[in-house]
Amino acid sequence: MSDQVFMLPDLGEGLTEADIAEWRVKVGDTVAIDQVVVEVETAKAAVEVPIPFEGTVVALHGDEGSTLKVGTPLITVSGAVHDQYREEERAGSGNILIGYGTSEDTRRRRRRVHPDGGGTAPASHGTATVSAGAVSRVISPVVRNLAIRNGLDLSTLSGTGSAGVITRADIESALAAAPGRPADHQRIPIKGLRKTVADKLSTSRREIPDATTWVDVDATALLDARGAINAALGDTGVSLLALLARMAVAALKQFPELNSTVDTDRNEIVQYAHVHLGIAAQTPRGLVVPVIEHADSITTVALAQQLRETTDLAREGKLAPARLSGGTFTLNNYGVFGVDGSTPIINHPEAAILGVGRIIDKPWVVDGQVAVRKVTQVSLSFDHRVCDGGVAGGFLRLFADYIENPISVLGRL
């Protein structure tokens, strides 16, 4: 019998630290090889960490919400030690995160705690007043810690997030409505995903000489086309976002200057031969941009399916870090927030970001007569180093033309 200290493993993508989101075990619990013992939140995703040892937990090296560096102690286990993960590494699994082997036996042994509360690994949740059901509906450690600091009973709250997830806004609303609660200032650490987003946006503003152009568009025909497509496809329908993504990809084929980046070290513009399309998505953890690789080489239906699966995983915090990087162009549907327009910040190191506002009824001139049409505003922020306003305006006008005459592009792709 000996104590084995499991260090926080390298989580890949150049990440050097992680926040402890939720311990799935406590001191005194018995753990098995490849059992998930903790969920950590990195700058890019939430990651479940399995342990390569079995035995009894004797120490947890960090509280929920604390930050650990890669290579520092995570958990100490006392008991027998097995070399399963080393055998898998020698077999060539190539996984950076120890415990994520590729053998079928490993996959069968792996246990997970799902957002619906399922799973078998025990968990401790600090000092918050919570029920098991409430815990499963709080994904963000920031939200949980905010409730803990203010003594809120999470089991009494209704979540307004996806699938009933309790969000920070829900906590703040509950605090504002609490009788007799004094106003209090809060200091919220900028770390994890929020720090990554802040750093990237600051870099974009600092390094990219950006400009924005926009245009109002009649989207009536687009909505009609989507209705006809979904009537034909049935259960495998396509979302409006998927159609907009398809049109953006088609427009990029005509204006490849915007599907590029600036290599400042070599003073060169790199135009990509493929389109890795980023989709800006708001999640309980904050803004993320999951990437659909080779969006220019798949069908509209396949693109719609990948968008559904990818955005669902992003909102649940289950996307691998690699799925949140490598984009060449970003589409931002800020219309879901009920706003008409925006000047979106370019997702550095990309060269452009396309935004779409809400679609609403507006008076519009059709064949010399005023009619009520479904109108939206589209905008493009672009890096002025890769092109001038003529190229940017040409791309945006083509994209707008596709919206007004969708059959011209959807019929070809």
Active-site residues, by number, are 384
How far is residue 347's CA from residue 41's CA, in Å, rounded to a whole number? 21
Element (H, E) at 305: helix 300-315
Q: What DSSP letter does each residue of 72-104 carry, written as one string?
A: SEEEEEEE----HHHHHHHHT---SSTT---SH
Q: What DSSP letter does each residue of 116-160 carry, written as one string?
A: TS-SS-----TT-B--HHHHHT---HHHHHHHHHTT-BGGG----
Query: Is 154 in contact with 130 (CB distance < 8 Å)?
Result: yes
Burial class (CB in 10 A: 0-12, 13-18, 19+), 92: exposed
Secondary structure of residue 340 in the 3-state scheme:
coil
**Residue of 131, 153, 128 whose CA lies nearest to 64:** 128
How far is residue 247's CA from residue 250's CA, in Å, rounded to a whole number? 5
How far is residue 63's CA from residue 41's CA, in Å, rounded to a whole number? 13
How far is residue 379's CA from residue 358's CA, in Å, rounded to a whole number? 12
Sheet holding 36-41, edge to edge: 46-50, 36-41, 17-23, 67-69
Cross-strand pairs, 201: none
Q: Which runs of consecutive H residues, i.e. helices, occur in 208-286? A: 220-233, 240-254
How far is residue 357's CA from residue 341's CA, in Å, rounded to a whole number? 5
How far is residue 278's CA from residue 158's CA, in Å, rounded to a whole number? 31
All residues at 6 or more sequence positions from 262 whose CB lies less than 8 Å from its CB, including other chains: 208, 268, 269, 270, 349, 351, 383, 385, 386
